[in-house]
């Protein structure tokens, strides 16, 4: 194996650049040629492939986003699209791939490997932290800290006006961000897709809490089955029927996807990027390089995609206990 390529795909995550840097520099250190594919699978199909050098990744470790750009490709979901991508890789002499992204990225990589046999190793890049095979994903820590900074500010104004705030954080299918910043931000409640949200219970608790607290913060993961923070706020408000109490909603949205990665994300990204190249050199493929209990571990894509990483039940309990 002499020539490899790296790409980022799906939703971007802070730390992807640090991962690209590690992939590029490790490959060069090991005497390999490394190419960058822009715009993920779309770029692979369109031949958006360029040689990278050590200096191509200078001064990016601290930057959010991804210098390789990202996309969610419809075309790559078709056999025809994947064949075009394969032909482009052949034309450029690419013999192995590093895919930085989440489960959608890995699903594409797995199908591609099974159809065309080009070795591929993934690095877990998503703010959602919903990938089996790694304790944390690249970008999660930064997203949590961004959300936490916002929640701290919201708490100031919530307390000043005795208001109840519903703060919506990202996580289409996962409550990791909500739970982490719920604990860190001292939220009164956290609502996540993994557990049933009991509006009646929330209303009852809010009424009890009113005796000791004048303001409250409720963190809602965007994928909660009761709806968006706005919809949940309306449901709660209708049941509380308290004329004096003001309810407000803040949706943090894509602000959570940007910004300079934290130290933890930069280190994780660097470790996974290096491990991806070392894995390919060792003949590994169709798997993801993650970090579990402090050690680098390669997990088959099959498991990363099909297995879920459950939320820590103790963390949910912690929020309930500490919110009294
Ligand atoms: O998967 C990461 C994520 O940020 C989710 O939390 C969110 O639901 C989704 O991406 C948003 O995707 P897009 O940027 O395409 O709207």
pLDDT at position 210 is 83
Q: Best substitution site from 11, 146, 252 to test ligand 1's pocket, by max atoms within 8 Å of Cβ?
A: 11
Per-residue pLDDT, averaged over 248-268, amounts to: 98
Ramachandran region, residue 169 (left: φ > 0; alpha: ψ -120 to 50; beta: rest)? beta
Residue with tokens 């200078």: 58
pLDDT score recorded for residue 243: 66
Structure confidence by residue, pLDDT tens digits, 144-183: 999 999 999 999 999 999 999 999 999 999 999 999 999 9
Q: Is 139 in the pocket of ligand 1 (CB under 6 A)?
A: no
Average pLDDT over residues 69-85: 97
Which pair of tokens denotes residue 9?
């795909």
- Distance between first and last Cα of the chain: 59
Q: Which atom of ligand 1 is nearest to the CA of 222?
A: 8
Please give the DSSP secondary-structure letter assigned to residue 297. E
248 pLDDT above the threshold of 80: yes
Rounded Cα gap, residues 247 and 163, in angstroms: 6
Contact in structure between 272 and 113 (CB atoms under 8 Å): no
Look at strands 3-8 and 33-37 and give their pairing.
Answer: parallel
Q: Residue 241: its pLDDT value, please?
A: 76
For residue 70 the two structure tokens come to 């990202």
* Interval between CA 11 and ligand 1 midpoint (Å): 6
> Helix, strand, or coil here: 97?
strand
**For ligand 1, atom 10: residue with the closest CA:** 11
Cα separation, 188 vs 186, whole angstroms: 7
Pocket test for ligand 1, best of 10, 169, 170 (most atoms within 8 A of CB): 170
Judge whether residue 3 has pLDDT over 90: yes
Q: How far is the CA of 138 from the centre of ligand 1 (A)?
A: 14
C-alpha of residue 174 to centroid of ligand 1, in Å: 11
pTM: 0.97
Q: DSSP for 236-286?
A: HHHHH--TT-EEEEEE-GGGGG-SPPPHHHHHHHHHHHHHHHHHHHTT--S
The phi, psi pair for 264, rounded to 5°, reads: -60, -40
Q: Supply the residues annotated as catalytic.
A: 128
- State both tokens at 321: 């206990």
Q: Span 260-280, mean pLDDT? A: 98
Could you give phi then psi for residue 169, rounded to 5 degrees? -115, 165
159 sits in which H/E element: helix 140-161
Query: Please, are residues 268 and 295 in contact by the beta-carbon 8 Å criterion?
Result: no
For ligand 1, atom 13, the nearest C-alpha belongs to 11
DSSP assignments along 36-105, one per residue: EETTHHHHHHHT-EEEE-GGGGTT-TT--S-TT-----SGGGSHHHHHHHHHHHHHHT--EEEEEE-HHH
What separation in Å is there between the alpha carbon of 264 and the centre of ligand 1? 21
pLDDT in tens, 173-209: 999 999 999 999 999 999 999 999 999 999 999 988 8
Q: Are 150 and 252 in contact (CB under 8 A)?
A: yes
The CA 74 to ligand 1 mean position distance, Å, reads 16
Query: Which residue puts its alpha carbon closest to atom 15 of ligand 1?
Result: 11
* Residue 171 Cβ < 6 Å to ligand 1: yes
């Amino acid at each position: 194996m002499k020539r490899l390529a790296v790409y980022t795909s799906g939703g971007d995550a802070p730390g992807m650049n640090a991962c690209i840097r590690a992939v590029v520099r490790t490959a060069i250190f090991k005497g390999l040629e490394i190419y960058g594919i822009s715009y993920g699978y779309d770029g692979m199909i369109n031949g958006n492939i360029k040689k990278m050098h050590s200096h191509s990744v200078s001064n990016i470790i601290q930057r959010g986003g991804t210098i390789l750009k990202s996309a969610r490709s419809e075309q790559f979901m078709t056999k025809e699209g994947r064949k075009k991508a394969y032909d482009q890789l052949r034309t450029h002499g690419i013999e192995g791939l590093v895919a930085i992204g989440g489960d959608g990225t890995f699903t594409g990589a797995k199908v591609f490997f099974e159809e065309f046999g080009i070795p591929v190793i993934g690095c877990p890049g998503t703010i959602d932290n919903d990938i089996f095979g790694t304790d944390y994903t690249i970008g999660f820590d930064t997203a949590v800290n961004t959300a936490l900074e916002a929640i701290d500010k919201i708490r100031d104004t919530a307390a000043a006006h005795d208001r109840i705030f519903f703060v919506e954080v990202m996580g289409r299918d996962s409550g990791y961000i909500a739970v982490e910043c719920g604990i860190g931000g001292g939220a009164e409640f956290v609502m996540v897709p993994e557990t049933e949200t009991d509006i009646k219970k929330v209303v009852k608790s809010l009424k009890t809490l009113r005796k000791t607290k004048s303001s409250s913060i409720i963190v809602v993961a965007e994928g909660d089955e009761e709806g968006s923070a706005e919809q949940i706020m309306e449901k709660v408000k209708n049941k509380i029927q308290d004329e004096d109490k003001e309810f407000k909603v803040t949706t943090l949205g894509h602000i959570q996807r940007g910004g300079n990665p934290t130290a933890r994300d930069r280190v994780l990204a660097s470790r996974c990027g290096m491990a991806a190249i070392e894995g390919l050199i060792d003949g590994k493929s169709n798997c993801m390089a993650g970090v579990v209990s402090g050690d680098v571990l390669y997990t088959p894509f099959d498991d990363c995609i099909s297995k879920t990483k459950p939320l820590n039940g103790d963390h949910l309990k912690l929020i309930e206990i500490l919110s009294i």
